[in-house]
Amino acid sequence: MALLQIAEPGQSPLPHQVKRAVGIDLGTTNSLVATVRGGRAVVLPDAQGAVMLPSVIHYGAADAPIVGASALALAALHPADTLMSVKRFMGRGRNDAEEDARRSHYSLAEGEEGMVSFLTSGGKISPVEASAEILRVLSQRAVDTIGGEIDGAVITVPAYFDEAQRQATKDAATLAGLPVLRLMNEPTAAAVAYGLDADGQGVIAVYDLGGGTFDISILRLHKGVFEVLATGGDTALGGDDLDAVLADWLLQESGFETLEAGEYRQLQASARLAKEKLSEAVTVDVDLSEVLPGGAVISVSREKLEQMIQPLVKRTLLACRRCLRDAQLEEGVDNIVMVGGSTRVPLVRAAVADFFGRTPLLGIDPDQVVAVGAAVQADILVGNRPEGDLLLLDVIPLSLGIETMGELVEKIVPRNTTIPVSRAQEFTTYKDGQTALAVHIVQGEREMVSDCRSLAHFELRGIPPMVAGAARIQVTFQVDADGLLGVSAREEITGAEASVMVKPSFGLNDEEITGMLQASFSHAEDDKRVRQLAEQRLSAWQLLDGLKSALEKDGDALLVAHEREALAGQMTELQSLIDGEDTHAIRQKTEQLGRESETFASRRMDKSIREALAGVSLDSLDDEVMQ
């Protein structure tokens, strides 16, 4: 009799068979792909030996898209057809992206589901399609290098990417034909890369200043477990912004007021090169004659560059301070990991070291560390390292909840909750006879729906008509390992159920993302007062609605004229207070009306009991009790 061959999920049934897994850093400025070879993660080069693939795509009128260095060379000649920093447009709407598009000299159009698209000579191109071209090139590089089709890939995203931006990244990978194992936060990937060589425990700050975004994560490493304590950042700040500050200064010094799109692209490239040189040199000369007709040679010092970028560096440190506060650490961090090419700038390294009071780790190339960590995680997830006990616990960056009566937000999954996670909470109906429930899913830290971001709506129907508060409706939130959200609602009596997978049409704009947490802190006291007022108004409305219904039914039978008039007067007074802002007055009047209506409520209860016992003898009741 033959034996069945059994393997653990995700592992090969053949011990000698190794699956091909890659980690991809889909960057704003440059992208990389890495894999694990001989137990060591390495970044894969192209045929010319270059490991960095510029995240640039050129769309000509008839030719296939050009990706990488060749596309970058065409940026100055064809700026509208050459897409750079596409990552900044992922999951965003046209209105959100206008400012970035203006600086990049792109022509925008409304795409599918409200997402922005670029107008090029090759047609209308979405950020998802452009990103897919980058992923195709990296995928083919991996196939050519490791000698076979890829079995699984881990793709990194900024920690502050919301659901729309993460889903857009997944869509790009699917379009490129990549089997995605999971999305992974970039700072977390860097921590994985460094954690393998660490002593097995400690608190790590990951400072990631990439080309287009800044992320800060605080992680705890203990016995092979990486737990993200808190995340923060700024999606409107990156190395590109440092380049832009220097480019604008060079433009001002040159005496030119405006530039053509191609000329500005060249100026940006010159500024980037000068910034990189100033990490080693004290002064560099920028020859603008190569960019502008009649342009002069302008000398720029490291001191001048640091003076210009100081406000941007301070913005990153403000995000670091908020993140440390969220992590609730009693002591400081043990290590700092630096990620992104702009962390080579001496001012950045000095500012980070001074802020955290510790010298950052610089053992792995900051441009490659994210791809290395993603490759390590991919190697584990694909099943090549069953002996590995590395566990990765990510968190959601912003709270998730639903709208309740009074336009209040009930948070179901608080921010910085470890994912994947499933949380459920029970709700009920507000009105008598209610047979449907509208579920409004929101994201944010504020107390009112108007101050948070709307994610999705769906309706639960089939609730049996009951008195208000009798129905039991369980709302469940499930966030998967990629940070994507599914919400379901179930009525417990009938089993009626409805659900939705949250895939918003576009993401938050930069100001909204960077301001949501700051707003929650600065408006904490105001939000508390607003919530208390809304809750008190809701209590008053419920009391008024209940009394109005009861008076219409039993008022004439159970109350004499002066009693009814007294209650009506009290109700009118409470009604007038509800529209005001005095929480204390509304509470006092609600409590007073509640006390004065107790006699009426008692009479209604007595009436209900008499009606229920009508025609029932005491003997029959005794028999029922005995049975």
Q: Which domains does the chain have, with CATH numbers?
A: 21-238+309-395 (3.30.420.40), 239-308 (3.90.640.10), 400-509 (2.60.34.10), 525-613 (1.20.1270.10)
Better-scored residue on pLDDT, 470 or 369 = 369
Q: Catalogue the E-assigned strands of 7-165.
A: 21-25, 30-37, 40-43, 53-54, 56-58, 66-67, 82-84, 108-110, 116-120, 123-125, 152-157
pLDDT-wise least confident of 196-200, 254-258, 549-553: 196-200
Angle formed at CA 46 by CA 41 and CA 50, multiple of 5 degrees: 85
Give the pLDDT mean for 482-507: 75
> Rounded CA gap, 29 and 117, in Å?
19
Whether pLDDT at 374 is above 50: yes
Q: Which of 96, 162, 171, 186 is catalytic?
A: 186
DSSP state of 143: H
Whether pLDDT at 8 is above 50: no
Give the pLDDT mean for 37-64: 87
Give the pLDDT mean for 283-295: 79
Tell me: the pLDDT tens digits for 397-416?
A: 778 888 887 778 888 888 76
Supply the pTM of this predicted model: 0.60
Give the pLDDT mean for 520-531: 62
* pLDDT recorded at residue 130: 92
Q: Which of 87, 170, 275, 589 is catalytic?
A: 87
Whether pLDDT at 59 is above 70: yes
Residue 510: which residues within 8 A CB-CB, separation 6 or more?
96, 99, 235, 236
Tell me: the pLDDT tens digits for 89-98?
A: 887 666 665 6
Strand order from edge to edge, sheet including 391-395 = 335-339, 201-209, 214-222, 225-234, 391-395, 418-419
Whether pLDDT at 216 is above 70: yes
* pLDDT recorded at residue 112: 60
Evaluate whether 80 touches 265 at the Cβ level (below 8 Å): no
Backbone angles phi, psi at 425, to 5 degrees: -145, 145
Which residues does residue 354 pair with via DSSP β-bridges, in sequence order?
A: none
> Rounded CA gap, 445 and 524, in Å?
9
For the chain, the average pLDDT equals 79
The token duo for 42 is 């390495």
Total length of the chain: 627
* pLDDT recorded at residue 504: 45
Better-scored residue on pLDDT, 535 or 202 = 202
Give the pLDDT mean for 267-281: 88
> Rounded CA gap, 405 and 436, in Å?
14
* pLDDT recorded at residue 329: 82
Give the pLDDT mean for 498-525: 57
Structure confidence at residue 536 as a pLDDT band (50, 70, 90): confident
> Rounded CA gap, 519 and 475, in Å?
27
> Rounded CA gap, 595 and 577, in Å?
18
* pLDDT recorded at residue 527: 60
Backbone angles phi, psi at 36, to 5 degrees: -100, 125
Structure confidence at residue 620 as a pLDDT band (50, 70, 90): low
* pLDDT recorded at residue 2: 37
Give the pLDDT mean for 558-568: 78
Give the pLDDT mean for 337-363: 92
* pLDDT recorded at residue 261: 66
Q: Is 186 a residue of the active site?
A: yes
One-letter amino acid identity for 428? T
Q: Is 208 a residue of the active site?
A: yes
Q: Catalogue the E-assigned strands of 158-246.
A: 180-185, 201-209, 214-222, 225-234
> Rounded CA gap, 627 and 609, in Å?
22
Q: How is 503-572 classified by DSSP, letter by letter?
A: --SS---HHHHHHHHHHHHHTHHHHHHHHHHHHHHHHHHHHHHHHHHHHHHHHHHH--HHHHHHHHHHHH
Tell me: the pLDDT tens digits for 317-330?
A: 999 999 899 888 87
* pLDDT recorded at residue 595: 80
Tell me: the pLDDT tens digits for 387-399?
A: 444 556 666 777 8
Whether pLDDT at 125 is above 60: yes
Evaluate whether 436 touches 417 at the Cβ level (below 8 Å): no
Can you say whether the dihedral through the CA atoms of 523, 529, 531, 533 is positive or negative? negative
Q: Can you tell me which residue has the tokens 């005995």?
A: 626
The token duo for 165 is 């931006």
Structure confidence at residue 372 as a pLDDT band (50, 70, 90): very high
* pLDDT recorded at residue 4: 40
* pLDDT recorded at residue 11: 44
Better-scored residue on pLDDT, 239 or 63 = 239
* pLDDT recorded at residue 195: 62
Can you say whether the dihedral through the CA atoms of 614, 617, 621, 623 is positive or negative? negative
Nearest of 342, 392, 378, 88 to residue 217 by alpha carbon: 392
Structure confidence at residue 515 as a pLDDT band (50, 70, 90): low
Evaluate whether 116 touches 94 at the Cβ level (below 8 Å): yes
One-letter amino acid identity for 489? A
* Helix or strand run (H / E) with residue 186: helix 186-195
Better-scored residue on pLDDT, 160 or 148 = 148
Give the pLDDT mean for 453-459: 83
Nearest of 370, 336, 482 to residue 30 by alpha carbon: 370
Backbone angles phi, psi at 141, to 5 degrees: -60, -45
Pairing of strands 418-419, 473-479: unpaired
Nearest of 379, 325, 318 to residue 351 by alpha carbon: 318
For residue 402, CA distances in Å to 272, 427, 444, 456 come to 45, 11, 10, 10
Q: Which of 100, 133, 208, 527 is catalytic?
A: 208
Q: Catalogue the E-assigned strands of 369-523.
A: 391-395, 400-404, 408-413, 418-419, 421-427, 436-443, 453-461, 473-479, 485-491, 497-501
3-state secondary structure of 319: helix
Give the pLDDT mean for 202-213: 85
Backbone angles phi, psi at 215, to 5 degrees: -130, 145
The token duo for 156 is 């990194």
* pLDDT recorded at residue 245: 92
Give the pLDDT mean for 447-458: 81
DSSP state of 15: T
Structure confidence at residue 117 as a pLDDT band (50, 70, 90): confident
Tell me: the pLDDT tens digits for 183-207?
A: 888 878 888 887 644 456 788 899 9
* pLDDT recorded at residue 37: 86
Of 20-34, 530-544, 602-616, the range with the highest mean pLDDT is 20-34
* pLDDT recorded at residue 621: 47
3-state secondary structure of 341: helix
Give the pLDDT mean for 560-576: 79
pLDDT-wise least confident of 277-281, 310-314, 536-540: 536-540
Residue 163: which residues within 8 A CB-CB, separation 6 or more?
443, 455, 483, 484, 485, 502, 503, 504, 507
Task: Report CA 20 to chain centroid distance, whole Å.
Answer: 30
pLDDT-wise least confident of 11-15, 477-481, 523-527, 564-568: 11-15
